[in-house]
Amino acid sequence: MTAALHRLVYEPLVRRALEEDLGRAGDITTDSVVDAVHRTAARVVARSAGTIAGLPIAAAAFATMDGTVEVTALAADGSAVAAGEGLLAVYGPTRAVLSAERVALNFLGRLGGIATATRTIVDAVAGTGVAVTCTRKTTPGWRALEKYAVRCGGGANHRFGLDDAVLIKDNHIAVVGGVTEAIERAKSRAGHLVKVEVEVDTLEQMEEALACGVDAVLLDNMTTDDLRRAVAMAGGRVVLEASGGITPDRAAEVAATGVDVVSLGWLTHSAPALDVGLDVG
């Protein structure tokens, strides 16, 4: 079971989203059409099948709009749902329910889409022992939420930011003039708890990285044959991560080479939103 996000992580985002939508004058449509005393029962439902993420965040949108709105979860984050299945039961002042609707659905649709995409890849590589991870290609301000959605889909997280692991990339190598120099500089400055990973484009760079004793090697945009060769060269000495150009169609092929991790920016930058809606009555 995926550990829930603490409300302090998402409540500021929910509040800002509501402020953005309400603008300077509030929901002038709902306020002019619906009586202030009117109350309603509604359900948030999945319009298409998928994996759910973000139910507490969607619930927070309604509760932030009006603390008297009652929200009951009908499903759980990380669960698979069918089209038409209920996700949340909502009851309270109609104005609050309708004014918070779009913000709640935006969070739920975006995060559910990421969870669903992740589950697709996890299922595709099932039985290989390969971990499916995301990258830092996330929506600004939403990283913690989107990485949570990846976990809801059965995936794992890569580093959360620039401060929790060393990942030497091609531009670092170009600036200092070589793989060995970059690794030696990083290892001399990193703390004893900080792991060092280096990105390589060729098997020659891979051999150089292995000689330096790094913790992990990112195999960037390599062919399937070169991935197999890299696995043989490593002999289990380091964690091998395949990244770059890994699509849902190619994930199983890459996993079969024997790498330890496949990382896909696609999970967070291109996953289609899960179709969800609010039905009143």
Q: What tens digit of pLDDT does each residue of 169-195 get? A: 999 999 999 999 999 999 999 989 999
Q: Is 102 a catalytic residue?
A: yes
Task: State the CB neighbour count (10 A cutoff) for residue 220.
Answer: 17
Options 27, 199, 208, 260, the catalytic residue: 199
- Please tell me what DSSP assigns to residue 68: T
Confidence bin at 245 (pLDDT 50/70/90): confident
Using CB atoms within 10 Å of the CB of residue 28, give its burial: 0 to 12 exposed, 13 to 18 middle, 19+ buried: exposed
Q: Where in the chain is the domain with CATH 3.90.1170.20?
A: 7-112+272-280
- Count the residues in the chain: 281
Give the CATH number of domain 123-269.
3.20.20.70
Tell me what the mean pLDDT of segment 195-220 comes to.
97
Specify the residue for token string 């002999």: 235
Tell me what the mean pLDDT of segment 215-225 comes to.
97
User: Is beta strand 216-220 parallel, antiparallel or unpaired with respect to 196-200?
Assistant: parallel
Cα distance between the two ends of the chain: 32
Confidence bin at 20 (pLDDT 50/70/90): very high
Q: Where in the chain is the domain with CATH 3.20.20.70?
A: 123-269
| Cα–Cα nearest to 106, from 281, 279, 276, 280 | 276
Residue 1 has pLDDT above 80, yes or no: no
Quote the pLDDT of residue 226: 97
Quote the pLDDT of residue 3: 81
In this predicted structure, which of 3-7, 146-150, 166-170, 252-256 has the lowest mean pLDDT? Answer: 3-7
Residue 247 has pLDDT above 90, yes or no: no
Tell me what the mean pLDDT of segment 133-148 comes to.
97
In this predicted structure, which of 133-137, 146-150, 224-228, 243-247 has the lowest mean pLDDT? Answer: 243-247
Options 15, 39, 102, 229, the catalytic residue: 102
Q: Is 220 a catalytic residue?
A: yes
Confidence bin at 229 (pLDDT 50/70/90): very high
Spell 164-180 as b/e; 16+ CB within 10 A means b: ebbbbeeebbeebeebb
Quote the pLDDT of residue 216: 98
Torsion angle, alpha carbons of 255, 258, 260, 263, to 10: -30
Element (H, E) at 279: strand 276-280
Quote the pLDDT of residue 100: 98
Quote the pLDDT of residue 248: 87
Fold category of 7-112+272-280 in CATH = Aldehyde Oxidoreductase; domain 3 (3.90.1170)
Options 39, 47, 136, 137, the catalytic residue: 137
Residue 77 has pLDDT above 80, yes or no: yes
> How many Cα neighbours within 13 Å face the side chain of 88?
27
Report the share of the chain in percent with pLDDT over 90: 96
Options 35, 169, 184, 204, the catalytic residue: 169
Enumerate the H helices of 75-157 as residue ranges. 94-124, 143-152
Tell me what the mean pLDDT of segment 203-217 comes to.
96
Tell me what the mean pLDDT of segment 146-175 comes to.
96
Options 220, 226, 253, 275, the catalytic residue: 220
- 96 and 65 in contact (C-beta within 8 Å)? yes
Q: Distance between CA 194 and CA 246 in Å, rounded?
A: 27
Tell me what the mean pLDDT of segment 153-165 comes to.
95
Residue 280's beta-bridge partner residues?
A: 42
Quote the pLDDT of residue 4: 87
